[in-house]
Each structure stands twice: as C-alpha cells, then as structure tokens.
Amino acid sequence: MQAVTAKWLQSIEALQEVPLQQLQWWIDNSNTRILAQDEFLFKAGEPSSGTHVIIKGKIRLYVPQKNSVRILGFTEEKEITGYLPYSRGVVSKVDAQAVDEVQVMSFPIEKINELIVKNFELTSALVHIMTSRVREFTTMQQQNEKMMALGKLSAGLAHELNNPASAIVRGSISLKKHLQLQPETFKEVIAIKMTAEEVDTVNNKMFQVLTRKERPLLTLMQRMALEDDLADCLYGHGVKNSTELAENFIEFGFTCEDMDEFSSLVPPAYLSPVLNWINNNLVTEKMVNDIQESSQRIEKLVSAIKNFTHMDRDRDKEYTDIHSGIKNTLTMLGYKLKKGNIKLVEEYDTALPKVKAFVGELNQVWTNLLDNALDAMEVDQQGKLEISTARDDDYIKVSITDDGPGIPDDIQSQIFDPFFTTKEIGKGTGLGLDVVTRIVRQHDGSVKVDSVPGKTTFEVRIPIDET
C-alpha cells in the first residue's frame, strides 16, 4: 500500500494551492483501504458515504441500462470522486466499480461540516472540483438527451418515409407492367369505327361520371355487392374482363345505369374495347395519383425536417408563427401518435401574432413536452392529446394536455429539476423539462404544470413582441 502524505496530495492539480497542514488534517481524518477487482466503491441509489481520493488503480463509473450498462467514464489515480462540500447529491447516482485492485482514501461524509469550518482553502478546492464535475456531467447528459431525442425522431421518420417510398416503388413497377399490356387494347381501339360526334358523346359521358362530387363511403360488404352487380351488368353486355373492370369502375363511381347508357351510345361490337380502354386509362391515372401522393408525402416530411431543425438559418431571433413549429413537431412525431393510438385534438387561435424567437430552440420545447405526453399515455396503449393556443394579455399561451395517469403531488415541484426523471433507466436523463424551462426563460416566458389523474396540462407562455 502506498503511503499517502500531504505533499503527495498537493501534487494533485486541484489541490496545489491548499496548505499542507489542511491536507494533513484531511489525511488524519480519513481512512485508506484496498478495493479488490470488481468491488464497488459505491452504488447508485445508496447514500453517499464520503469523499474518495484514488491513490492507485482505476474506477469504472456507469449506470445500468435495461440488459446492459452505459459507461460514463473512469476515475483514475489522483482523481477525486464521491460527495463534495455543499453538494445536494446525498444519494449516489451511478455505480463505481474497481477495474483492478484500487487503493482509495475516503473522508467520511459525517465530518464534512467540520472540514468546511476548519479548512477554507481545502473546501474551496473541493467545491471547484464539484462545479467542474457538474458542468462536465451536465454537458454529457444534455448530449445524451439530444441523442435519445434524435433516436426517437429518426425511428419515426424512417417508418414514415418508408411507407411512401415503398408505395412509389410498388406503384412504378405496377405502372410499368400495366403500360406493357396497353398494345393489345390499343389494337382493339384502333379498329373502332365511330364518328367524331359519337366519340365526343362517349367522352362527355365518361367525364360526367368522373366529375361527380358525391361518392358514398362504402363498407366492404356494400362494395363487394356493388362490384358483383356491376360485373354481372358488364358481362351481360358482352364486355371482356368484366370482374376486373367492375372492381375499378366502382372506385370511380360507375353504376349499372351508367353501363346501360354507354351501351346505348356505343355500337355493341365496340363496347368491350371502349370500356377496357377507359379502364386502362383510369388504372393509369390511379397509379400516377398514388405515386404523386407518396412523393408529396415525402416532400412534406423533408420540409418538416428542415423547418424543425431550422437549417440554413442564422442563429438569431426571428418572427415566427407559433403554430408552424407545433405542426412540424407533430409531423416528426406522427409515427408515435399512430403507434400509441392517440386521438389528436387541435384548437388553434389562427389570429395570433407572430412571436420573436429562436425557432430551433422553441421546437425543442414542443418536442420535449409532446414526447413526454405521448410517453405518459403509453401505459393505457391509447389516449387523447389536446393542443390549444390562445392570447393571454401580452403573451401567447400554448397548452398541451394528455389523459395519462398524471404526476403525483409529491413530485410535481421536482419535475423541472435537472436530472430528475420518473422514467425507467435508459429511457430518460431528467433533462427534458430542464431544457424546456431554460429555453422558455431565455424567451422571457414561463412554463407551469397542472396535473391530476387523467389530465396533465403543461402551459407555456411566450411574450408577444409587436414592436
């Protein structure tokens, strides 16, 4: 075991300016021991036992995370860990385990007040270590919070983008095959001998059907019954592919009455080629529309991503519509809304003026509050999310309400504190609401919560700058 002297402690950078007699007092009131490999110096959830100086060896700091652990770092020779003067952390938040054999000098927490009273320079040095440690840990946790949020958004966006992208691929393949079948139908159509007036009449009838505004919503059983009736009608007129045509024509609002009218406008020999040609064009139009809608969906998501992150903008306050950020955030969280069977109720005052804000930061507020609300409703596998905006004197008030189990009374005063979380290990860092508070205050606003079982409302107020 290495001898620990005041001179040796003074070789630690943080203790260089501490008088030797204070360091000797520290040694005299501490105990030195050896930790075997894998032995714990302290564990998460246990009361802090004191201040620890690593004389030899290495300590691994980590937090359990589901079926694994997340390593936060290592404490090595001439580093100080554990409880420090004026710290509010009287309970350990991490596990500290010896990587190999470790020699450690431990100063008991029961003597901290005596240390503060008798040793000013030593106390100052230890407080400086504490502030540096908090700053580093906060930075690391904030980065972890951002990565967790990014992971959630990425998973949702991957799902949201995959659906329209797959639809485009399927649609383009089907369209290509469909167009390859056109020549045979074209041969039959080119052989039709009809006057220009007859063609116009058929054309007008087709557009008359297609432009009908009212198309009743059908149940599966109703649709199948109508398809069978229309297929029988087409077959009775000698139309080829009557079953396929019936499936498509029903979707565009064609009826048996329409088919009877077509039969009176087109010579019997040409009715089948004409209707099959119409069907081919309708199928082509439907495929193109599906591809167009899927492409627009991707375009909307990409636009939402750009607006959400506020890319290509200078980092400065600018006037923005508060609803734009909320809606972009909802688009980003769309997958989670669907997955959680969430009913969304939006009540926006569209006459509200724009607010001057850091748009990217304000979007973080909506992301954290909405994501927390969705997490709260997971337990019931369904829920109702209500979002409303209104003017409140010189402020815009945004209210986000969920019907989850609520926040217990005894912890409501703590939920905005850094590192406080009610989520399971690995799911939250306890910085989400701290970030919300910091950003809202940066905008000279306020945030508060009102919660009872079945109804939790977060209310954010942002000042209106109408100058």
Locate the domains of the chain by residue range.
6-118, 173-293, 310-463
- Tens of pLDDT, residue by residue over 88-121, are 778 888 889 999 999 999 999 999 999 999 999 9
At 179 the three-state DSSP class reads helix
Euclidean distance between CA atoms 293 and 57, whole angstroms: 62
Q: Report strand pairing: 68-76 vs 95-98.
A: unpaired
Are 102 and 57 in contact, with CB atoms under 8 Å apart? yes
Which residue matches tokens 């075997």? 36
Q: For residues 54 and 25, is the Cβ–Cβ distance under 8 A? A: no
- Chain position carrying tokens 């004409």: 274
Q: Three-state SS for 240?
A: coil
C-alpha–C-alpha distance, residues 389 and 397, integer Å? 6
Q: What is the pLDDT of residue 23?
A: 93
Positive or negative: CA dihedral 24, 29, 32, 38:
negative
Compute φ and ψ for 64, nearest 5 degrees.
-65, 145
d(CA 60, CA 366): 36
Tell me the angle at which helices 432-442 and 359-376 cross, rounded to the nearest 10 degrees.
Answer: 150
What DSSP designation does 36 have? P
Q: What kind and span of H or E run contains 8?
A: helix 6-10
Q: What CATH number was assigned to the domain covering residues 6-118?
A: 2.60.120.10
pLDDT by residue (tens digit) across 308-362?
555 444 456 788 899 988 988 888 788 788 888 999 999 999 999 999 888 878 8
* CA–CA dist 74, 95 (Å, integer): 11
Answer for the pair 167, 255: CB distance below 8 angstroms, yes or no.
Answer: no
Query: 93 with 60: CB under 8 angstroms?
Result: no
Distance CA 141, CA 136 (A): 9
Which pLDDT score, from 0 to 100, does residue 294 have?
Answer: 77
- What is the pairing mode between strands 342-347 and 383-392? parallel
344 — alpha (psi -120 to 50), left (phi > 0) or beta?
Answer: beta
The confidence score (pLDDT) of residue 53 equals: 93
Q: What is the pLDDT of residue 420?
A: 47
Q: How many helices (H) and strands (E) does the chain have?
A: 14, 15
Helical residues (DSSP H) of 181-267, grouped into ranges: 182-190, 196-210, 220-236, 242-251, 256-265
Q: How far apart are the first and last CA of the chain?
A: 71
Which residue ranges in the chain fall short of pLDDT 50?
311-314, 419-420, 424-431
Q: Which distant-in-sequence residues (6+ apart) come within 8 Å of 282 by Cβ?
A: 248, 249, 252
Side chain identity at residue 36, one-letter code:
A
Query: Exposure string (b/e) for 5-20, b if CB count within 10 Å is 16 or more?
Result: ebebbeebeebeebee
CA atoms within 13 A on the CB side of 41: 37
User: Angle 351-459-444 (CA atoms, 0-180°, nearest 5)?
Assistant: 80
Question: Domain spanning 310-463: which superfamily?
Answer: Histidine kinase-like ATPase, C-terminal domain (3.30.565.10)
Angle at the Cα of 404 (from 401 to 409), degrees rounded to 5?
90
| 450 and 399 Cβ atoms separated by less than 8 Å | no
The model carries a pTM of 0.46
Q: In the numeric block, which tokens belong to residue 279? A: 């069907």
- Determine whether 84 is exposed, middle or buried from the number of CB atoms within 10 Å of its CB (0-12, 13-18, 19+): buried
The number of angstroms, rounded, from the C-alpha of 352 to the middle of its chain's C-alpha atoms is 26
Tell me how many degrees the CA angle 252-256-259 measures, rounded to the nearest 5.
80
- What sections of 237-383 are H helices per DSSP? 242-251, 256-265, 268-309, 322-332, 334-339, 359-376
- Under a CB-based contact definition with an 8 Å cutoff, are residues 64 and 44 in contact? yes
> Tell me, what's the pLDDT at 328?
81
Q: At what angle do helices 120-180 and 432-442 cross, to 10 degrees?
A: 100
If DSSP codes are grouped into helix, strand and coil, which group holds residue 446?
Answer: strand
